[in-house]
Amino acid sequence: MDKKDEMIMRLVHYFVTEQNYTPIVVNGVKDEIWLENQEGPYKIVRINANYIHNEEQYKFDVFKIRNVMRQIKRKTVSFSMNTLNILLDVNESLTIKNERNINSIIVKNLKDAKAKLKSEPFPDISEKLLDDTTGMDLILNVTKDINEKTEKENKVYESTFKPKKIIVTPIIIVLCVVIFFLTFIASGGELSARTLLNYGACFGPVIKLGGINLLRFVSSAFLHANIIHLLFNMYALYIIGTQLENYIGRGKYISVYFISAISGALLSSIFSNAVSVGASGAIFGLLGAILYFGYHYRLYLGSVLRNQIIPLIVANILLGFVISGIDNAAHIGGLIGGYFTMMALGVSGKSEKSEKINGFIVLSVYLLFLTYILFFK
């Protein structure tokens, strides 16, 4: 290896093992390393070993960076992105200027790397950058450390995405179906608003009476107005619920489902003047949880979020405003409740403790605020 190759290995080792960056594949590039960390001080770190000899070549290099940034922004559903562009081989007479969202630095040796990256938001680089090994020892050390880091991350990824036995979602579906037919038979086939209210539907003025009526926050999520209503919700629950339960596990899934149902019922009781039933508030909560979960795995699920989840949420919310008979307040309340609940529970291997604490605080304040509005205003 020459000095440039050694520098690349030292920098990659530091960013991957110490700063949690992940190598990404960029088609059509040569002698370049691209690293990604959506929570890092720079979302993208690019290490370029190609020789840049004049201003025109540098401008073309910046053009390439922006093109790759656009691709990554689309893939990760990011609205803004900043890049640290580390150049290892530049003509000494060329002046490198920072561009919008692209901070370029020239690194010629270890001293350069420590001085210039330390002034960036990497204050530990002086202690963490490998500088006591060269040649084969450097290769072995870097390979060993990166493999250990990758193996750990792969275990988290495998544990999260490997197929698991789905239990909770089918149970909820069976309960909803059984309860529907029991209420249908008991009412003689007349599932009117008054009948549903007698069986536990959600209705603001009744909820405000307190006591046993508070159970309506949950019971209303298991009632449905007709067979079409039931079939539509159960199909959506099967598609969305099985995916989320597989991703986050049964315990977190149960919490998301029922807190979302309560959140949807709270907002419905405040803003809706009609009797409300159905699992759709809880289902929107599952969408909110997937939105939060997908954000943390957006390098893998970014296209799913952009092309499926977000359009689905937006389309259904808009339909709720233009079609009568849809309790949009319950949908929005469930969506918000599910998102904040997932934030409080955290995404395994991704969420920091502080992030989960913030999620718990936001969720508590949100639910307490809705409770205050409903019962005391």
Decide if 280 is catalytic. yes
End-to-end Cα, the chain, rounded Å: 73
The phi, psi pair for 35, rounded to 5°, reads -125, 145
* 162: CB partners within 8 A, 6+ apart: none
Decide if 303 is catalytic. no
Active-site annotation holder among 219, 229, 331, 351: 331
CA distance 84 to 93: 22
Strand 102-106 with 44-48, pairing: unpaired
> 276: exposed, middle or buried (C-beta count within 10 Å: 0-12, 13-18, 19+)?
buried
Active-site annotation holder among 104, 272, 280, 351: 280
CA distance 334 to 215: 17
CA distance 186 to 189: 8
Is the distance from CB of 203 to CB of 275 less than 8 angstroms?
A: yes
CA distance 57 to 79: 28
Query: The tokens 């001080």 sit on which residue?
Result: 41
Just list the catalytic residues: 280, 331
